[in-house]
Amino acid sequence: QVTLKESGPVLVKPTETLTLTCTVSGFSLSNARMGVSWIRQPPGKALEWLAHIFSNDEKSYSTSLKSRLTISKDTSKSQVVLTMTNMDPVDTATYYCARIRSYYDSSGYYVRLFDYWGQGTLVTVSS
C-alpha cells in the first residue's frame, strides 16, 4: 500500500524558512521509475507544481520559485524534504507531496504522472 504523509509547521512567520518533510511507504525512493514531487494549493485556488526529485537525484524546480526552493531526499529514511526560503503571506497554502510514476506505454511514449498523493498540510504564513 503506497502512502505519503507531509509534516512540518502549521504556522511560519514572514521571512522565515519553511521545511516540509514527506515520508513515504509502500515504495522505495531508490526505484528508478519513481520520484516525488511537491505541489501546493492556496486556499480556493489552483494546484501549483513546486519541485521534484528522482532516485538518481535528478531535481527540477518551478521557474518562478527556483531561487527559494531546495528539494532533497534521504532514501534510508524514505523521506523527501522541501525547503522554501523567505516565506511570505502569499505562500499560505496546503502543501502536498505526490509520487511520480514513470513508464513507457505501448506506443513507446515515456509517461510520467502523479499517481499517489499525501493528505496535504496547511501552512499559514503570518506574523
Does 27 contact other proteins by CB under 8 A? no
- How many C-beta atoms surround the C-beta of residue 61 within 10 A? 18
Q: Least separation, in Å, of the C-beta of 103 and other proteins?
A: 8
Q: Whose grid coordinates read 531526499?
A: 73
Helices (H), strands (E): how many in the chain? 0, 11
Contacts of 120 (CB under 8 A, 6+ apart): 6, 41, 94, 95, 96
Does 121 contact other proteins by CB under 8 A? no
Q: Least separation, in Å, of the C-beta of 80 and other proteins?
A: 15
Distance (Å, whole) CA 96 – CA 116: 10
Among the listed ranges 15-23, 24-32, 80-88, 103-111, the one in contact with other proteins (CB under 8 A) is 103-111
Does 105 contact other proteins by CB under 8 A? yes
Q: Least separation, in Å, of the C-beta of 56 and other proteins?
A: 14
Q: Least separation, in Å, of the C-beta of 111 and other proteins?
A: 5
DSSP three-state, residue 67: helix
Q: 31-70 mask for other proteins (x: CB under 8 A)?
A: ------x-x------xxxx--x-------xxxx-------
C-alpha separations of 92 from 11, 28, 62, 87, 123 in Å: 9, 30, 17, 9, 6
Residues in contact with other proteins by CB under 8 A are 37, 39, 46-49, 52, 60-63, 96, 105, 107, 109, 111-120
